[in-house]
């Protein structure tokens, strides 16, 4: 039997790094597999996948999540690859939603399988969904994702709304691919009354296509929206939230921008990540090296695993700021299909 989260919380200090950042949010990538092949993430070929026996079982994920909760994590988001390709995900969601100290449980998905699963996910305890949609044009959807699936994803959006999930749309903007749709997405946010968050393209692409000229910055997006008559009013949201939020004057919708490249939010970062093969990432740009699964499978105690996590976290790198200073931003720095965003 492993310790409960509450027991660990009283025994162990919380995770803290040299910059006094304390993580509250854990991204659990539960698979590196995906049923889409987005051009900015995971090409159809050329990406080695983890052998199945290297992927954490649901019991192992639950065990590690309990240890993280004991170290102060309050929010968990399941991601991938595509998390919904993993069978019986609702069982994992139910188990995670019952961990002491976990206040919110979310999912990031491409939506292809969501309409079929939405009701089960809701009853299992899932609260929020980030749905990725990069284009509202069917042909372009096929060329970006490799799948003719826009209508299915839009159906999933409606089904998930009907289930009462809190939903946000994630849209990665890439120059020359979908930057002509920024205004359409703003209108979509208004019409659907569903926040759209524009994400700057990050060099975490398995396809190695990233270069700085493909990045459309938050400022450029806002200028384009202003030119089309949208007046954006900044909202106050916590610095630890990477999205800069805006309401749209005179309208119901809201927009967010995740300026991952143009405005580093590393100083207030409160996120940590666990890959599906059990590597603990203290920073999205850190190479996967902290092998927690190894300790777990060696039968180490919860206290030993917690101490290892604390030690790893103390050495969390400063983040994007230092990469920019070293001029070391380049394509494929990490693989987003293994980290999960
Ligand atoms: N398959 C799910 C999905 O697409 O929502 C979850 C995993 S995906 C890696 C998580 C998020 O990362 C998605 O919103 C996706 O658009 C985003 N993403 C993937 N590659 C990216 C990149 N190179 N730069 C910025 N965001 C990226
Ligand atoms: Fe799959 Fe999501 Fe990556 Fe697209 S962004 S290839 S849906 S993991």
* Three-class DSSP labels, 264-276: CCHHHCCEEEECC
Q: DSSP state, 55?
A: S
- The pLDDT of residue 186: 98
What residues have CB less than 8 Å from 208, skipping those under 6 apart? 331, 332
**Unique residue bearing structure tokens 């289930």:** 163
- What residue's CA is closest to ligand 2, atom 3? 41
Q: How far is it, in rounded angstroms, from Cα 166 to Cα 118?
A: 12
Tell which one of 128, 132, 320, 335 to mutate to probe ligand 1, the residue whose CB is within 8 A of the most ligand atoms: 132
% helix / strand / coil in the chain, to the nearest 5?
35, 15, 45
Q: How far is it, in rounded angstroms, from Cα 27 to Cα 248?
A: 30
C-alpha count within 13 angstroms, C-beta hemisphere, residue 220? 16
pLDDT in tens, 56-69: 999 999 999 999 99
In angstroms, what is the span from residue 19 Cα to ligand 2's centroid?
32
Q: How far is it, in rounded angstroms, from Cα 176 to Cα 225?
A: 17
Comparing 207 with 190, which gets the higher pLDDT? 190
- The pLDDT of residue 276: 97
Tokens standing for residue 153: 């994803």
pLDDT in tens, 20-79: 888 999 999 999 999 999 999 998 887 889 999 999 999 999 999 999 999 999 999 999
pTM here is 0.93
For residue 37, which atom of ligand 2 is closest to its CA? 6
- Tell me: pLDDT of 319 over 80: no
Write the CA distances from 14 to 23, 73, 307, integer angstroms: 9, 9, 10
Candidates 144, 118, 147; CA nearest to 131 is 118
- Do 296 and 302 form a contact (C-beta atoms < 8 A)? no
- What residue's CA is closest to ligand 2, atom 4? 38
Q: How far is it, in rounded angstroms, from Cα 134 to Cα 178?
A: 7
| pLDDT band for position 5 (cuts 50, 70, 90) | very low
- Tell me: pLDDT of 249 over 50: yes
- Do 212 and 174 form a contact (C-beta atoms < 8 A)? no
Q: Which range, of 90-99, 289-298, 324-333, averages the lowest pLDDT?
A: 324-333
For residue 341, which atom of ligand 2 is closest to its CA? 5
Comparing 132 with 317, which gets the higher pLDDT? 132
- Tell me: pLDDT of 187 over 70: yes
Tell which one of 42, 141, 142, 258 to mutate to probe ligand 2, the residue whose CB is within 8 A of the most ligand atoms: 42
Cβ(340) – ligand 1 distance below 6 Å: yes
Q: How far is it, in rounded angstroms, from Cα 255 to Cα 246?
A: 5
Over residues 156-180, the mean pLDDT reads: 97
In angstroms, what is the span from residue 339 Cα to ligand 1's centroid?
9
| pLDDT band for position 325 (cuts 50, 70, 90) | low
- Going along the chain from its start, the domains and CATH numbers come out as 4-339 (3.20.20.70)
For 319-332, letters b (16+ CB in 10 Å) and e give bbeebeeeeebeee
- Tell me: pLDDT of 214 over 60: yes
Residues flanking ligand 2, CB < 6 Å? 34, 36-38, 41-42, 80-82, 110, 132, 336-337
For residue 301, report the phi and psi dihedrals to the nearest 5 degrees: -75, 165
- The pLDDT of residue 4: 44
* Alpha-carbon radius of gyration of the chain: 19
Helix crossing, 150-162 with 138-145: angle to 10°? 100
Tokens standing for residue 216: 């459309």
């Amino acid at each position: 039997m492993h310790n409960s989260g509450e027991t660990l919380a009283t025994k162990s200090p919380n995770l803290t790094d040299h910059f006094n950042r304390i993580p509250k949010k854990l991204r659990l990538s539960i698979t590196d597999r995906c049923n889409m092949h987005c051009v900015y993430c995971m090409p159809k070929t050329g990406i080695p996948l983890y052998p199945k026996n290297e992927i954490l079982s649901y019991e192992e994920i639950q065990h590690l999540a309990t240890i993280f909760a004991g170290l102060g994590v309050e929010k968990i988001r399941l991601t991938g690859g595509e998390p919904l390709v993993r069978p019986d995900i609702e069982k994992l969601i139910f188990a995670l939603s019952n961990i002491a100290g976990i206040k919110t449980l979310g999912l990031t998905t491409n939506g292809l399988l969501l309409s079929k699963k939405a009701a089960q996910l809701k009853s299992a305890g899932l609260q929020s969904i980030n749905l990725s949609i990069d284009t509202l044009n069917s042909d372009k959807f096929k060329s970006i994702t490799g799948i003719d699936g826009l209508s299915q994803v839009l159906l999933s959006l409606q089904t998930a709304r009907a289930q009462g999930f809190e939903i946000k749309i994630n849209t990665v903007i890439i120059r020359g691919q979908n930057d002509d749709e920024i205004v359409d997405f703003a209108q979509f946010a208004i019409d659907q009354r569903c926040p759209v968050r524009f994400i700057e393209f990050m060099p975490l692409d398995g396809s190695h296509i990233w270069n700085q000229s493909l990045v459309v910055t938050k400022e450029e997006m806002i200028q384009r929206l202003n030119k089309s008559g949208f007046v954006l009013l900044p909202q106050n949201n916590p610095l630890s939230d990477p999205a800069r939020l805006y309401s749209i004057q005179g309208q119901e919708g809201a927009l967010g921008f995740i300026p991952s490249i143009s405005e580093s939010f590393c100083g207030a970062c409160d996120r940590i990540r666990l890959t599906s093969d059990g590597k603990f990432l203290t920073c999205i740009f850190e190479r996967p090296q902290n092998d927690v699964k190894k300790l777990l499978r060696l039968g180490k105690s919860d206290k030993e695993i917690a101490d290892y996590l604390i030690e790893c976290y103390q050495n969390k790198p400063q983040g994007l700021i230092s990469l920019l200073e070293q001029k070391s931003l380049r394509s494929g720095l990490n693989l987003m299909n293994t980290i999960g965003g």
